[in-house]
Amino acid sequence: MDTIVPGTNLPRIIIIGGGFGGINLAKSLHSIQAQIILLDKNNYHTFQPLLYQVATGGLEPDSIAFPLRKLFDRQGNIIFRHAEVTCLYPDEKFIETSIGALSYDYLIIATGTRTNYFSLPIEDKAMSMKTIPEALDVRSLILQNFERANYEQDVKVKSALMKFIIVGGGPTGVETAGALAELKRYVLPADYPELDMRQMEIQLIEAGGRLLGGMSEKASKTALSDLEKLGVHVSLNTYVTGYDGTKVTTNKGDVFEATTVIWSAGVSGNPVHGLPEALLLPSGRIRVNAFNQVEGFKEIFAVGDIAYMDSDPNYPHGHPQVAQVAIQMGKNVAHNIQYSLKGAPLRAFEYYDKGSMATIGRNKAVADVSKSHFKGFFAWLMWMLVQRLFLYGFRNRLVVLINWIWSYITYDKGARVIIRPFIRKKVAS
Amino acid sequence: MDTIVPGTNLPRIIIIGGGFGGINLAKSLHSIQAQIILLDKNNYHTFQPLLYQVATGGLEPDSIAFPLRKLFDRQGNIIFRHAEVTCLYPDEKFIETSIGALSYDYLIIATGTRTNYFSLPIEDKAMSMKTIPEALDVRSLILQNFERANYEQDVKVKSALMKFIIVGGGPTGVETAGALAELKRYVLPADYPELDMRQMEIQLIEAGGRLLGGMSEKASKTALSDLEKLGVHVSLNTYVTGYDGTKVTTNKGDVFEATTVIWSAGVSGNPVHGLPEALLLPSGRIRVNAFNQVEGFKEIFAVGDIAYMDSDPNYPHGHPQVAQVAIQMGKNVAHNIQYSLKGAPLRAFEYYDKGSMATIGRNKAVADVSKSHFKGFFAWLMWMLVQRLFLYGFRNRLVVLINWIWSYITYDKGARVIIRPFIRKKVAS
């Protein structure tokens, strides 16, 4: 064992996943005397809140992907391995990965979530938007649909090619619907002069009674009216009952014919194989105590979207699955590991809600900060600044800023290249 | 027929290929009364001279890809179709494409070239670098090799992972070797502190007696000494006799064990199926007369790398396969089509050689301009300016400039994200 990283006499801390939780945890351990191993199946961190901009041509993937090795270039106690974890052996304290086995003293599961289709058999038909390749795939499909609509003779097929169904009215669904509406208004007419863009339809379907269920009622109302002003059709209290690749059906009896269905209706945890089943919720999340320890294992922690903590009376059904929770949990676990190494008592996690925001379009956004609600241009400016603050790397921030200023002035979106998968010649292991 | 673009009473000009030849031809026809149809299997133009920078992490693909629709946004007489041509029927004057058939009055073949392995059975083992997906694939392989070298126990395998063979000492081979040497010196040591980067080897193999055979003797000498100073091993008068995925063998009896072989040793034309065989050279190029007309067909032209014109006494074996020739041929054919429509005599192509240049690394480049030769910092600055002049779009130029200034100041290269193909869910036709 341990051939993939030679052991030392220092305690070994393994972090599975380089998302918001994993990297903030690792950063907070910068001065600890330990061997920290960060594992991720990608060699980059994905800034998930902006994936929808990659999908709608506003940004290129490199602006929201940050190489993990570069992120930790100056942190000597971190070792990165580009690997996928295949199994956890909690009693023996080791993990199996795609490149070999590794023992640990502390293990942190920060594997996040994946798209949840709620047992509808549509995984091969609806588009998901949780990863960079998925977002690129959404973008390519949107553009390919218009390319084809140009010469499609069948009126029904043509209409389906120009119809976009977005399922789920959370931030991702709202932001995607808004971005598509702006593409329709400002960008696509110049690119596709042969098409009548009034035929393009954007339909947002939300199962709950309001959009942005995690935000204030005011935010929900603003988002709804902003989207409707942009020409988006919104169906509330509606859930999808099926999609056969051609027709979307709902509980309300709607039948929407659409070539593109973007699924942002829910997520389920990405648990690591090998954890006792009893610790997993049906949502795939892992039950943790107030210190983020996985029940029954003092040396295993879970943080971020995958962690389900119901000990906080303010959040009896767990915390919202957002970046801020992951970041704060990561930092708290970093402290707790340090306390644990010293034999000191651990510190319970307390979530400090910095507020939440979503953007609908140009000069249109909503923000809830403590008890206050903001909307319009000011909220939109706040959203831009906050997103940029959290992007890693000066170069990324600069490139994103240029792209945004560019789009703002020209009403254009630069990233309209269709890059579909390439059958590679060589499979490197 | 003609369902994919409705016919008009105007003459129809079909251009196959949105490379340098095709887009310059189309641009030069901006004021003609005709229906111009541009076809390409990609929806973007690829700035091929900078592909090597994508492969070596200096640039992201979007900086050198320009959406074709955007390029012609303001040119009303152009229609773009995202399609591949499957067959040409020259006697009936129509083409078959992946999306349907199209008749033409004038046809221009501007399909360029693909990698030529000279009948070595290595197409599935060596890496090619003619397209953006291929360049991304090279980059991913390079990075994946280092990821694996980190934990590889077998000394021979580890050494092969860190060995890079580049076959072909033309501009692409020289520029790639130089960029890899700079990665070795400035970037990789920080990213892979566990590896001894002195073990990384870069081997450039050239069949001819000198590098950059298309340039002056002085340029060849400078390129050789610059590369050697950067630590690249160069073998001249050497050609590859085989590669089994592990070992490269040469006519000199060398055996190089390497996981990565980048093939930039030659190209062959991408002819359109259906042209009489007699018009094709063994290299796949199409024989054209001094007006770029394909022999025997007044209404079919070929331009750029695919065209073989031996009527110019200065270029008895055809013109060099470089961007400048394609651009100038495209413009000349635009004139000739206009003359032909008026019944006026056509104008023979005359190539004006503006010079050629190649960059080896930071402050290191060579340039031949008429009888003068430049090298070092000045040539490198010229190279930067010229490349930028030819990039399409202000945003692309700006982003490339920022990336270059960034790399110059920080000695870093930003683009180190491994994006391997994604098995897509939905195949849009």
User: What digits encode the pLDDT tens for the residues A207-232?
Assistant: 999 999 999 999 999 999 999 999 99
Give pLDDT, residue A425. 28
Please state the CATH superfamily assignment of the domain spanning residues B12-41+83-114+267-342 in this structure.
FAD/NAD(P)-binding domain (3.50.50.60)
Distance between CA B392 and CA B72 in Å, rounded? 11
Q: Strand A255-257 relative to strand B106-109: parallel, antiparallel, unpaired?
A: unpaired
Verify whether the Cβ–Cβ distance A82 to B426 is below 8 Å. no
Q: Name every chain B residue with its beta carbon within 8 A of the beta carbon of A143.
A: 43
Q: Cβ(A55)–Cβ(A176) under 8 Å?
A: yes
Instruction: Inform me whether the pLDDT recorded for A115 exceeds 50.
Output: yes
Mean pLDDT by 10 residues, chain B (429 residues): 88 97 96 97 92 89 87 92 96 95 97 93 92 91 94 96 97 96 92 95 97 95 96 97 95 96 94 93 95 96 97 94 94 97 96 90 86 85 75 69 70 65 31
Other CB atoms within 10 Å distance of the CB of residue B106: 22
Whether residue A191 lies within 8 A of chain B, CB to CB, comes out as: yes
Q: Tell me the chain A residues in contact with residue B414 when contact means C-beta distances shorter than 8 Å.
A: 62, 393, 395
Kindly list the residues from chain A whose CB atom is less than 8 angstroms away from the CB atom of residue B162: none
DSSP alpha helix (H) spans, A100-205: 132-149, 155-161, 171-182, 188-191
pLDDT at residue A52 greater than cutoff 70: yes
Rounded Cα distance, A296 and A90, in Å: 10
Q: Mean pLDDT throughout A180-207?
A: 95
The span from the CA of A248 to the CA of A58, in Å, is: 27
B/e letters for B239-251, b = 16+ CB within 10 Å, e = fewer, are bbeebeeeebebe
Among A4, A36, A82, A122, the residue to mutate for chain B (most B Cβ within 10 A)? A82
Using DSSP bridges, classify how beta strands B113-115 and B267-269 pair: parallel, antiparallel or unpaired.
Answer: antiparallel
Q: For residue B133, give the chain A residue with the closest CA.
A: A422
What distance in Å separates residue A388's CA from the closest CA in chain B?
17
- Round to whole Å and give the CA distance between A424 and A341: 46
Quick check: B414 and B407 in contact, CB under 8 A? yes
Structure tokens at A261: 């269905």
Strands (E), A354-421: 356-361, 364-369, 372-375
pLDDT (0 to 100) of residue A415: 65
Residue A166 contacts residue A264 (beta carbons within 8 Å) = yes
Residues of B with Cβ-Cβ distance to A422 under 8 angstroms: 131, 133-134, 136-137, 421
Counting every residue written for chain A, the total comes to 429
Q: Checking DSSP bridges between strand B307-308 and strand A267-269, what pairing results, if any?
A: unpaired
Q: Which two tokens stand for residue B15?
A: 């251009």
pLDDT of residue A394: 63
Name the residue among B73, B424, B429 with its Cβ closest to that of A191.
B73
Q: With 50 as the cut, is the pLDDT of residue A118 above it?
A: yes
pLDDT at B191: 92
SS3 (DSSP) at A70: helix
pLDDT digits (tens, 9 = 90+) for A399-416: 777 777 766 766 666 666
CB A84 within 8 A of CB A100: no
Tell me which residue has tokens 């064990």. Answer: B257
Residues of B serving a catalytic function are 175
Is the CB of B136 inside 8 Å of chain A's CB atoms?
yes
In A, residues 322-361, which contact B (CB 8 Å cutoff)?
none
Interface of A with B in 199-218 (CB under 8 A): none
Q: Residues of B with CB below 8 A from A190's CB?
A: 73
Q: Rounded to the nearest 5°, which phi and psi values hold at B45?
A: -85, 135
pLDDT of residue B376: 86
Asked if the model's pLDDT at residue A151 lies above 50, the reply is yes
Which of A124, A186, A191 best probes binding to B when mutated, by most B CB atoms within 10 angstroms? A191
Residue whose token pair is 């008068």: B237
Minimal CA separation from A77 to chain B, in Å:
11
Task: Determine the Cα–Cα distance for residues B135 and B64; give it in Å rounded to an integer.
Answer: 11
Residue type, B239: Y
Is residue A266 predicted with pLDDT exceeding 60?
yes
Task: Establish if B416 touches chain A: CB-CB under 8 angstroms.
Answer: yes
Q: Is B241 near chain A, with CB under 8 Å?
A: no
Q: Kindly report the number of other CB atoms within 10 A of residue A266's CB atom.
A: 16
Cα–Cα distance list, B309 to A25, B88, B271, B314, B338 (Å): 64, 21, 15, 11, 21
Give the integer Cα–Cα distance in Å for B311 and B233. 40
Nearest CB partner across the interface for B65, out of A136, A151, A417: A417
Q: In whole angstroms, what separates CA B269 from the centre of its chain?
A: 12
The domain ranges of chain B are 12-41+83-114+267-342
Chain A residues in contact with B99 (beta carbon < 8 A): 148, 151
- The Cα-based distances of A349 to A245, A311, B96 in angstroms read 44, 9, 65
Provide the token pair at B340.
């032909």
Sign of the Cα pseudo-torsion (B14, B18, B22, B25, in order): positive
Asked if B127 is an interface residue toward chain A (Cβ–Cβ < 8 A), one would say yes
The answer to whether B313 and B302 have CB atoms below 8 angstroms apart is no
Residues 6+ apart with CB under 8 A from B48: B19, B130, B323
Neighboring chain B residues of A65 at a CB cutoff of 8 Å: 417
Residue A429 predicted with pLDDT over 70: no
Mean pLDDT, chain A, whole residue set: 90
**Residue A371 contacts B where some CB pair is shorter than 8 Å:** no
Chain B touched by A244 (CB under 8 Å): no
- Cβ-defined contact of B82 to A418 (cutoff 8 Å): yes
Q: Which of A18-27, A152-161, B56-65, B397-406 has the lowest mean pLDDT?
A: B397-406
Residue B233's pLDDT is 98
**Residue of A1 and A280 predicted with greater confidence:** A280
Residue A276 Cα, gap to closest chain B Cα (Å): 30
CB B329 within 8 A of CB B289: no
Residue in the block written with tokens 């079909």: B14
In chain A, residues with a C-beta closer than 8 Å to the C-beta of B79 are 194
pLDDT for position A426: 29
Q: Which of A61, A70, A416 sits opposite B67 (nearest CB)?
A: A416
Higher pLDDT, residue A54 or B413 = A54
Of A241, A229, A245, A230, whose CA–CA distance to A265 is shortest?
A241
Q: Does the annotation mark A123 as catalytic?
A: no
Of all residues in chain A, the one with the smallest CA distance to B5 is A151
Fold of A12-41+83-114+268-342: FAD/NAD(P)-binding domain (3.50.50)
Q: What is the pTM of this model?
A: 0.91
Question: How far apart are the CA of B147 and the nearest CA of chain A, in angstroms?
Answer: 7
pLDDT tens-place string over residues A289-307: 999 999 999 999 999 999 9
A125 has a chain B CB within 8 A of its CB = yes
